[in-house]
């Protein structure tokens, strides 16, 4: 009789498999030789660090459905290990897997602050708000040791450069000294991603991210220090966490959020099969319902990558979710836009020569 049991994920990780990079010239196939039981917990996998040398750190985009043109990602891969993370496919560019490799093999740019300083000092540079840690979280657990995002923030603070942040990490409060000063000068905005208030669901879906109540506490601490904060209900997963939308927005409002947004679950490339595998392991009773709703919101497909469609979907269910969000945000006073960040204070960093400026 064929054994149809699915392998368990290693402790503290969301992915249970490590599919090969789509750019690899070969593929591997798992095989059970009978020596290991599928019911046994997999051993914990340590995080490995990979040095990622880069000539530049500011990435530029002209996507019509994202609110920024400049971004910096100090890390590739993320220890948070969120089962739904849209950034997983980017690990294939490193020749690594979007599965467990994405959660356990983290590439970092040790000279990123020096690169940033050089780019901001270039005569051709034109100031625009920089989105910090958008692809993967700049305050993920390894940041506690490396302090790479902290050093980037120090450069931006020194230059009075505006920055927008999205995080689900309570570690961001470590940098309150910089953020509070930038907040007073209208140079920073922080959006917290809060996907659920259910601690058990969060532990299974976002295994190494801060628990929801810790994120709300961090939001409250930043707001009390004068840092503009908002909440992103992202991703909104139909039939799994959608019923929590109003409760999450209300909790964020009580913690100091002044605006809100949401993003529908995105399943690009390898994320689709990885997330469906997670659903079958963790929420088997809801798996088909979730995917059916996704297909209904993407014209029969599980995902549509077209601009304007990938973030919201379309059709009756998508319209209903949008209406629910607008009503809740209006009722809670979260429908206000954050003020535009101030570009006029930016001053290029001084060259590290010790020579004073003439003017």
Structural domain contains residue 20: no
Structural domain contains residue 155: yes
Residue partners of 314: CB distance under 8 A and separation at least 6: 297, 298, 299
Per DSSP, helices labelled H in the chain are 100-104, 112-121, 143-146, 148-158, 176-184, 199-205, 212-224, 245-254, 271-282, 287-296, 316-332
Q: What is the pTM of this model?
A: 0.89
- pLDDT at position 4 is 44
Mean pLDDT, each 10-residue run in order, the chain (359 residues): 57 82 56 47 80 90 84 96 94 92 95 96 96 94 97 98 97 98 98 97 96 98 98 97 98 98 95 96 97 96 87 94 98 91 95 54
Structural domain contains residue 322: no
- State pLDDT tens for residues 31-76: 444 545 444 555 678 999 999 987 899 999 888 778 789 999 999 9
- pLDDT at position 354 is 52
Structural domain contains residue 212: yes
Structural domain contains residue 305: no
Query: For residue 229, which phi and psi values (nearest 5 degrees)?
Result: -125, 150
Tokens of 102: 């994405």
The parent domain of residue 72 ranges over 48-266
Residue 149, SS3 per DSSP: helix
- CATH number of the domain where residue 204 is located: 3.20.20.70
Q: How many domains does the chain have?
A: 1
- pLDDT at position 42 is 56
Structural domain contains residue 193: yes
Residue 262, SS3 per DSSP: strand
Structural domain contains residue 124: yes
- pLDDT at position 8 is 76
Structural domain contains residue 106: yes
* Contact criterion met (CB below 8 Å) for 252 and 218: no
């Amino acid at each position: 009789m064929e054994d149809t049991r699915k392998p368990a994920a290693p402790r503290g990780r969301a992915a249970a498999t490590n599919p090969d990079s789509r750019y690899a010239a070969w593929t591997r196939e798992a095989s059970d030789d009978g020596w290991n039981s599928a019911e046994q917990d997999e051993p914990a996998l340590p995080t490995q660090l990979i040095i990622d040398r880069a000539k530049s750190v500011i990435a530029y985009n002209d996507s019509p459905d994202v609110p920024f043109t400049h971004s910096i990602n100090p890390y590739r891969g993320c220890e948070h290990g969120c089962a739904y993370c849209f950034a997983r496919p980017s690990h294939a560019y490193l020749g690594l897997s979007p599965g467990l490799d994405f959660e356990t093999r983290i590439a970092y740019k040790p000279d990123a602050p020096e690169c940033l300083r050089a780019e901001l000092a270039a005569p051709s540079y034109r100031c625009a708000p920089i989105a910090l840690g958008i692809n993967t979280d700049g305050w993920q657990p390894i940041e506690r040791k490396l302090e790479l995002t902290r050093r980037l923030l120090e450069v931006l603070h020194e230059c009075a450069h505006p920055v927008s942040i999205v995080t689900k990490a309570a570690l961001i409060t470590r940098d309150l000294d910089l953020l509070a000063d930038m907040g007073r000068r209208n140079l920073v905005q922080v959006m917290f991603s809060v996907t659920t208030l259910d601690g058990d669901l969060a532990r299974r879906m976002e295994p190494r991210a801060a628990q929801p109540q810790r994120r709300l506490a961090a939001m409250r601490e930043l707001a009390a220090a004068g840092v503009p904060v908002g909440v992103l209900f992202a991703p909104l997963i139909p039939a799994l966490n959608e019923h929590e939308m109003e409760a999450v927005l209300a909790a964020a409002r009580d913690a100091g959020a002044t605006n809100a947004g949401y993003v529908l679950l995105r399943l690009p490339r390898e994320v689709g099969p990885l997330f469906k595998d997670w659903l079958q392991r963790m929420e088997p009773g809801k798996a088909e319902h979730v995917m059916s709703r996704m297909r209904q919101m993407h014209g029969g497909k599980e995902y549509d990558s077209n601009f304007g469609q990938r973030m919201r979907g379309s059709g009756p269910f998508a319209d209903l979710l949008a209406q629910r969000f607008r009503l809740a945000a209006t009722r809670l006073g979260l429908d206000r836009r954050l003020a535009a960040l101030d570009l006029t204070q930016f001053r290029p960093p001084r060259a590290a020569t010790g020579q004073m400026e003439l003017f």
